[in-house]
Structure 1
Amino acid sequence: MAEETPAAGANGTAAPQVRMQVLAQYIRDLSFENVVVQKGLAGVEVQPDVQVAVSLDARKRPADHQFEVITKFKVTSKNKNNDETLFLLELEYAGTFHIEGVPEDQMHPFLLIECPRLLFPFVRRIISDITRDGGFPPLNIDNVDFLALYRQEIARRQAQPAN
């Protein structure tokens, strides 16, 4: 009796091997506004309240098996005392990936969960550096649960009435 390997499917055939390669990572768009300095609010009592909004996008590229995944972060810091904006940071960070062996029905979640996970440490560092260079303490944003984000988006789409 032959043993079934972990990579073998139920019928004994080998499951396709998933292959992913990061071809490029880059900043698509970056904006930082230090509102405190622009308004001249020096000496104001500040208790920052930071909000981070994340959105994702993925596109097929013309080359075979290549995809572009874009992570979009909007970070807004407001003063809890008077609701004045302290700074606003908008970052679009993208990666170009070569992906093979992922079944077609699993490609969408793969692109919007696994690929952003690989990009996130670089996004975190950029946000930390930009806030520090912008005159604020470095902001180290919390980990993003891309699986939960994906599930929320699917639920939101299913809840929308069909047009």
Structure 2
Amino acid sequence: MAEEQEAQQPAQAAGPQMRVLGQFVRDMSFENIIAQKGGSPDMQPDVQVQVNLDAKKRSQDNQFESSIKLNITSKDKDSDSVLFVLEIDYVGLFFIDNVPEAQMHPFLLIECPRMIFPFLRRVVSDITRDGGFPPLNLENIDFVSLYRNEIAKRQAAEAPQDAAIN
């Protein structure tokens, strides 16, 4: 039985490993437009959220950073006037080992953002609340769909260039 456990251990050790080394707000801007204009905050908000992802290798071995960039605009449903704008770049630092090179790109843009998103959601909630609005509780983000859509956009952008060359 001990031999079976020893035989299984190398297989487990060779599996993907990920640790969050740290996370932080790289850049943030919050503008309370309605307060600057002296308007009433008793409006019906329509919130639009744009999500961009980025990742890169760091200089240390097996260390990477993955960032979620949100651009959130809240407008009044009736007048279409802007209530607030929040732009935030939230970064996670990761130690990643035993992930095949072919799978590293999706790993960095799906799994890593999935790990740090709950913390970003909390930051966004606190910022909007502290900015004078009800806390904005972001819905879960489907990082797999975002990744697939981005790959499809890139392929579509390359297709006309390929056709033009032929």
TM-score (norm 2): 0.87
- Alignment partner for residue 56 of structure 1, among 49, 53, 56? 53
What fraction of aligned residue pairs are identical, expressed as a percent?
60
Aligned partner of 2:118 in structure 1 is: 121
2: CA distance, partners of 1:154 / 1:33 = 32
Query: 2:157 matched to 1:162?
Result: no
Aligned partner of 2:98 in structure 1 is: 101
Q: Deviations over 1:49-87 (max 9, x none)?
A: 000110000011011111011110111000111110000
Superposed structure 1 runs of 4+ greater than 3 Å apart = none
CA RMSD of aligned residues (A): 2.0
Q: CA deviation at 1:162?
A: 3.1
What amino acid is aligned across from residue 22 of structure 2 in structure 1?
A
Please show how residues 1-163 of structure 1 align to structure 2 within 5 Å.
14=11, 16-42=14-40, 46-160=43-157, 161-162=160-161
Q: CA deviation at 1:147?
A: 0.3
2: CA distance, partners of 1:138 / 1:55 = 22
Q: CA deviation at 1:154?
A: 0.3
Flag the structure with higher helix content.
2
SS where residue 161 of structure 2 aligns? coil
Q: Deviations over 1:70-127 (max 9, x none)?
A: 1101110001111100000011000110100100000000000000000100010000
2: CA distance, partners of 1:147 / 1:130 = 27
Question: Unaligned 5+ residue runs, structure 1?
Answer: none
Q: CA deviation at 1:14?
A: 3.6
Q: Deviations over 1:17-46 (max 9, x none)?
A: 111111110000011000000001127x51
What amino acid is aligned across from residue 97 of structure 1 in structure 2?
F
1: CA distance, partners of 2:84 / 2:72 = 8
Question: Unaligned 5+ residue runs, structure 2?
Answer: none
2: CA distance, partners of 1:119 / 1:21 = 11
1: CA distance, partners of 2:40 / 2:11 = 65
What amino acid is aligned across from residue 161 of structure 2 in structure 1?
A
